[in-house]
């Protein structure tokens, strides 16, 4: 009599790959079904989240006495949590689009998405609707930070400490900015001067960078990490640092296209393009041999031109 028992079989690599592909497809379909938010809806949801947090604090602090006020507060908390979930679901496609850019760097796609979702939740938690900028612009920084730090921490075949990974990303950004400005590659001495570190440290980072799968010439305009900003933010909150850096980045893309040489220099000095150190009107005037009022007028005209730049308008900044 033939043995009719079925022996358990280990899934083959193609079978596992198909299963993972199905998981990705299902996730993408779920993300695509969620309607996107208008800016007005973002504000409404953000306010509901804020009110919910305030109501929860009152409940936890025992500041409410009557049954009616407690019941109303609980309803506000419930609406706040529902608004948070709606906010997150509506931005899952943003996480997917960012995660795609990091495929092939050591983590499976769904792991990248999961890490990006953690960044998205953090962005929803910290988003300040009063500042007037688009949530997607703000959230992108948190999503990228979560993904890139996960890659640095878990995804490398050649493991580098997270702080070294951060330094390498700064080096890449500086390298590309210098190349775009001067039309040539910077020397180690020039990199050291821009980064304000010893040239020996630049050499060490260049050696570590050679072991990374991404080259110095990789685009970094959309790869700047929030961690880079936080290390410079002794005088700023993380939120202020993010907003300022976003503005510098978007302006930097448009400056070379629409401004003359003097306007470019004023904007670069005022907003810290290239080195992250913004200067006052008076200090810019000293550098350029102009009065502070003259610098203000040049800046105003430059910003007027930038307002009509397609790059700036697309970003929704000025």
pLDDT in tens, 68-125: 888 998 999 999 999 998 999 899 889 988 998 888 877 888 888 888 998 898 888 8
Task: Tell me which residue range forms the domain holding 256.
Answer: 237-318
Q: Which residue has the tokens 């203000």?
A: 296
Residues 88, 127, single domain; the answer is: yes
CATH number at residue 83: 1.20.120.1810
Residues 270, 171, single domain; the answer is: no
Residue 232 covered by a domain: no
Q: Within 10 A of 254 (CB to CB), how many other CB atoms are there?
A: 24
Among 168, 25, 33, 212, which residue's Cα sits nearest to residue 109? 25
pLDDT recorded at residue 264: 83
Res. 3: pLDDT tops 50: no
The alpha carbon of 299 is separated from its chain's Cα centroid by a whole number of angstroms, namely 27
Sequence-ordered alpha helix ranges (H) in the chain: 13-33, 39-60, 67-90, 92-100, 109-126, 135-150, 162-182, 188-195, 199-210, 226-230, 238-258, 261-271, 281-288, 292-307, 310-315
Residues 147, 168, single domain; the answer is: no
pLDDT, tens digit (0-9, with 9 covering 90-100), for 268-278: 788 766 655 67
Residue 22 covered by a domain: no
Residue 51 covered by a domain: yes
Residues 143, 71, single domain; the answer is: yes
Final residue of a structural domain among 138, 155, 172? 155
CATH number at residue 207: 1.10.10
Alpha-carbon distances, residue 183 vs 148, 180, 217, 237 (angstroms): 29, 6, 13, 35
Q: Within 10 A of 208 (CB to CB), how many other CB atoms are there?
A: 17
Final residue of a structural domain among 155, 170, 196? 155
Q: Which residue has the tokens 């009557």?
A: 66
* CB contact set of 200 (below 8 Å; sequence gap of 6+): none
Residues 241, 197, single domain; the answer is: no
Residue 93 covered by a domain: yes
Question: Which tokens is 176 given?
Answer: 């590309």
pLDDT recorded at residue 75: 94
Q: Within 10 A of 48 (CB to CB), how many other CB atoms are there?
A: 19
Rg (CA), the chain: 24
CATH number at residue 301: 1.10.10.10
Question: d(Cα 137, Cα 310) in Å, to the nearest integer?
Answer: 16
Res. 317: pLDDT tops 60: no
Final residue of a structural domain among 137, 155, 173? 155
Residues 38, 141, single domain; the answer is: yes
Residue 49 covered by a domain: yes
Report the chain's mean pLDDT, rounded to a whole number: 73
Residues 134, 63, single domain; the answer is: yes
Among 178, 174, 149, which residue's Cα sits nearest to residue 164? 149
Residue 224 covered by a domain: no
Residue 13 covered by a domain: no
pLDDT recorded at residue 247: 53
| Chain length of the chain | 318
Domain count, the chain: 3
Residues 124, 44, single domain; the answer is: yes
Res. 185: pLDDT tops 90: no
pLDDT, tens digit (0-9, with 9 covering 90-100), for 194-249: 888 888 888 888 777 655 443 333 333 344 343 333 333 333 444 444 445 555 55
Question: d(Cα 125, Cα 241) in Å, to the nearest integer?
Answer: 17
Residues 45, 98, single domain; the answer is: yes
Q: Which residue has the tokens 């993972």?
A: 20
pLDDT recorded at residue 237: 44
Residues 47, 141, single domain; the answer is: yes
Residues 202, 128, single domain; the answer is: no
Res. 173: pLDDT tops 80: no
Residue 6 covered by a domain: no
Question: d(Cα 87, Cα 120) in Å, to the nearest integer?
Answer: 9
Residues 164, 78, single domain; the answer is: no
């Amino acid at each position: 009599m033939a043995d009719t028992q079925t022996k358990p079989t280990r899934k083959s690599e193609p079978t596992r790959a198909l299963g993972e592909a199905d998981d990705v497809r299902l996730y993408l379909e779920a993300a695509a079904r969620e309607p996107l938010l208008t800016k007005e809806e973002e504000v409404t949801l953000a306010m509901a989240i804020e009110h919910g947090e305030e109501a929860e604090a009152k409940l936890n602090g025992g500041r409410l006495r009557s049954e009616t006020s407690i019941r109303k507060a609980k309803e506000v908390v419930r609406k706040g949590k529902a608004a948070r979930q709606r906010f997150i679901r509506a931005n899952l496609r943003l996480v997917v689009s960012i995660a795609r850019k990091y495929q092939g760097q050591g983590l499976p796609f769904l792991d990248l998405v999961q890490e990006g979702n953690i960044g998205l939740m953090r962005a929803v938690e910290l988003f300040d609707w009063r500042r007037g900028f688009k949530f997607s612009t703000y959230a992108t920084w948190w999503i990228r930070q979560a993904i890139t730090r996960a890659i640095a921490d878990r995804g490398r075949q050649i493991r580098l400490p997270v702080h070294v990974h951060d330094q390498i990303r700064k080096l890449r950004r500086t390298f590309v900015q210098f190349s775009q400005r001067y039309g040539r590659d910077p020397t180690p001495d020039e990199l050291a001067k821009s980064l304000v570190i010893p040239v020996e440290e630049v050499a060490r980072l260049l050696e570590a960078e050679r072991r990374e799968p991404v080259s110095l010439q990789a685009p970094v305009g959309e790869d700047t990490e929030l961690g880079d900003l936080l290390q410079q933010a002794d005088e700023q909150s993380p939120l202020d640092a993010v907003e300022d850096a976003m503005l510098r980045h978007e302006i930097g893309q448009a400056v070379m296209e629409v401004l003359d040489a003097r306007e470019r220099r004023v904007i670069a000095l005022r907003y810290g393009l290239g080195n992250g150190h913004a200067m006052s009107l008076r200090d810019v005037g000293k550098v350029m041999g102009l009065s502070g009022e003259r610098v203000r007028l040049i800046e105003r005209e430059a910003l007027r031109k930038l307002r009509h730049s397609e790059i700036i308008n697309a970003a929704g900044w000025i």
